Amino acid sequence: MLGIVGGVVVLCVVLGAVFVLADGKDDKPATTNSASPAATRAAEPAGGYKQPTDRCALADPSLLGPRAGTGTGEPLEEKTRYTLNGCEYSLSAADGFQELKVFANVDGDTAARYKESADTYPKISGFDDEKVTGCGSQGFYARRLSSGDKRIEAVIVCVEQNLYVEVRFNAGGTEPWDSGAMKTNMTALVKGVMAKTPKA
């Protein structure tokens, strides 16, 4: 369903990315085109995790459930106040186009990234958020449903020591989306990413 592409909202946070709304409405936080000095700190502090060499090898999109599409990932870097490195997937599903972005960053900015993300998403119009457990030391899930729940925009952020993982999923479809099931599925995907990220 090509019409979904124009309507999909690309979920981003102040630190890691920019919210770009297809309809041009300005309900996104301001960003800058260059990384802050914090983003240039040593990438791998002692202990915890090491930078993954291939972020597109970390995620398994099939964990998103039976409605998840298939497709290959391409490396992605988003620069605002902080730099987010990850992988972007364009998934082809039976009932429409789906977009998946998976970011995994290892640096000294984990706590600051998480705080900014947790503070930002609840302020975006239409988003509901809740805490999640089982994916690191801290985590939250936020989502927005529209078009009779047939369109979903969801994000999950989890941190563990010096590892920050953020996953965004945007999709339309012919049937309503189950937000609770998506929360469970995205949590499983994040846990898989964390398990595949090399330890220091």
pLDDT at 129: 93
Cα–Cα distance, 161 to 24 (Å, whole number): 37
Confidence (pTM): 0.78
Residue 32 in this model has a pLDDT that exceeds 80: no
Residue 23 contacts residue 173 (beta carbons within 8 Å): no
Residue 107 contacts residue 162 (beta carbons within 8 Å): yes
Residue 70 in this model has a pLDDT that exceeds 50: yes
Residue 65 contacts residue 185 (beta carbons within 8 Å): yes
Residue 187 in this model has a pLDDT that exceeds 80: yes
At 22, the pLDDT band (50, 70, 90 cuts) reads very low
pLDDT at 40: 34
At 33, the pLDDT band (50, 70, 90 cuts) reads very low
Q: What SS3 class is residue 155?
A: strand
CA contacts within 13 A on the Cβ side of 132:
28
Dihedral pair phi/psi, residue 173, rounded to 5°: 155, 180
Cα–Cα distance, 132 to 129 (Å, whole number): 10
At 41, the pLDDT band (50, 70, 90 cuts) reads very low
CA contacts within 13 A on the Cβ side of 40:
4
Proportion of the chain above pLDDT 70, given as a percent: 76
Residue 1 contacts residue 97 (beta carbons within 8 Å): yes
Residue 23 burial class via C-beta count within 10 angstroms: exposed 0-12, middle 13-18, buried 19 and up: exposed
Cα 17 to the chain's mean position, in Å?
10
Tokens 């499983």 sit on residue: 188
Mean pLDDT, rounded, for 104-115: 93
Mean pLDDT, rounded, for 59-75: 95
pLDDT at 192: 97
